[in-house]
Amino acid sequence: MAFTLGYHILLVPLGVALPTLTLVMEGIGLARKDGVALLIARRWSVVMGVQFAVGAVTGTILSFEFGILWPRMLGRFGAAFGLGFAIEGWAFFLEAIFISIYLYGWNRLRPRTHFLLGLVLPPAGLLGAFGVLAANSWMNTPGGVTMQPNGALDVDVWAALFTKALTYEFWHFTIAIYLTAGFAVASIYAVAWLRGRRDHYQRLAFGVPFTIAAALAPVQWVVGDLSARALTFDQPAKFAAMEITWRTRSNNPEVIGGLIDSSGNVHLGIAVPSLDSILVGLSPSTVVRGLSSFAENSRPDAIESNLTHLSFDLMVGLGSAALLLTVWHFAVLIRRRRLPQSLWFYRLAALAGVGAYLTVESGWVTTEVGRQPWIVYGAMRVADAVTDASPVFLWAMLGTLFVVYAAIAFFFITLLLKLSRRWRQEDEAGSTEVFGGRGLPYAPRTRGVE
């Protein structure tokens, strides 16, 4: 399950946020009558369609895995847990319909009509994200369910969907999605800048997504801080693992790096005195609960705590680096009214895409591993929810997934590389023909069905 989710989450940022970036670029093209912006939007929309198809495959596999790997959890709590995925299913079909219309309509619809129809895509993507995050938030702070004596489950739909964790998980992850997509797209054009391409196409394709991501970085810093602080009330054992805090105490230090052993001793870490207490309660006297205050079978063990802690540190560290890079970007943009020209800036921007994905992955690990040993926090343990299928079947299933997902990655990357080469050849040849239309992407149809 970890492998499948870790793979699928790589597709989520572009799946949810790329439609917004594409529409922003199309809007710039329409407002400024800029054919280059429209060309960029057209090309991004093709990537959007390919990425959506790949995400549909991996997402479908995930839905089967829930039933195969966690039958006891679904048998007991499926009526509540499934609500979010029902919403996600509706959002998926809505996206599929309008992505098809958007791609097919470039040369067939009036520019304004095409743009307005595309506006359905961002909220549809957010609706899908809401559904998945509602399900995950319910696992972290379950609510809205009552078990009857006969074993039936009464579900308060609104309470089960809008749990406490959703109030911060949704915003934290949604901003992370847009940050990641913005930095990932911009990083491609940062590489082009380093290779010597400095034309209007490159500047626009880099500047728009990077500026959007940069504007969100300080917002994410605040939202992330509030989210971590909320865990001290909603999931204190997870927070203790994130900070590898063993004893309940005031003046609790912030430990950067390091590993904790089963006896509560921290090795190799750098401790900043009282900082954790200050971050939690704005005072050194704030008491932070430690792992030792929880029953041994109700808290993450040493391995899980270390994985949670290091993932959390990586997420915060990369997020801090992104914030510094965005300060550099805006300092130049505001002062000089142009993009930065520094070679080092674009080197770091080229790495920002990979860094953003590592941040998303580490955040997911923090969320899921830190909840151990619970699959539904405080209500059902992983050991009580997992399938009793034979290990041979499970290993065979995992091996099959490795092969299938490797094939998906190969064809996905190969197709993107082919598209990139094709577009580069068109640019070098000075061609403006785009998938069956002549001139700008909105040109009248001059051929049959592409």
pLDDT digits (tens, 9 = 90+) for 353-364: 999 999 999 999
Give the 3-state secondary structure of residue 250. Answer: coil
Hey, is 188 helix, strand or coil? Answer: helix
Q: CA-CA distance, 125 to 177, in Å (whole number)?
A: 11
**Is it the case that residue 450 has pLDDT exceeding 60?**
no
For residue 440, the model assigns a pLDDT of 52
pLDDT exceeds cutoff 50 at 164: yes
pLDDT at 198: 87
For the stretch 301-328, pLDDT in tens is: 999 999 999 999 999 999 999 999 999 9
C-alpha span between 305 and 383 (Å, rounded): 18
pLDDT one-digit tens code per residue, 26-49: 999 999 998 999 999 999 999 999
Kindly compute the dihedral angle of the four CA atoms of residues 283, 284, 287, 292, in this order, to the nearest 10 degrees: 140
Number of helical H runs and strand E runs in the chain: 15, 8
Q: What percent of the chain has pLDDT over 70?
A: 95
Q: How far is CA 117 from CA 106, 113, 173, 174, 444, in A?
A: 11, 6, 26, 23, 18
pLDDT at 216: 94
Whether residue 54 is predicted with pLDDT greater than 50 in this model: the reply is: yes
Q: Write down the mean pLDDT value for the chain.
A: 89
Confidence at residue 426, expressed as pLDDT on a 0 to 100 scale: 82
Count CB atoms within 10 A of the CB of residue 194. 13
Judge whether residue 445 has pLDDT over 50: no
Q: How many CB atoms lie within 10 A of CB 346?
A: 21
pLDDT at 172 over 70: yes
Please, which contacts does 409-413 make with residues 24 or more away whose CB atoms are closer than 8 Å?
412/50, 412/51, 412/54
Whether the pLDDT of residue 150 is over 70: the answer is no
Question: Please, which pLDDT band fits residue 151 given cuts at 50, 70 and 90?
Answer: low
Residues 250-298 pLDDT 10s:
999 999 999 999 888 999 889 999 999 999 988 999 999 999 999 998 9
Residue 359: both structure tokens together: 């941040």
Q: Is the dihedral of CA 300, 304, 307, 310 positive or negative?
A: positive
Task: For residue 373, say if its preceding peptide bond is cis, omega within 30 degrees of 0.
Answer: yes
Q: Which helix (H) or strand (E) holds 287?
A: none
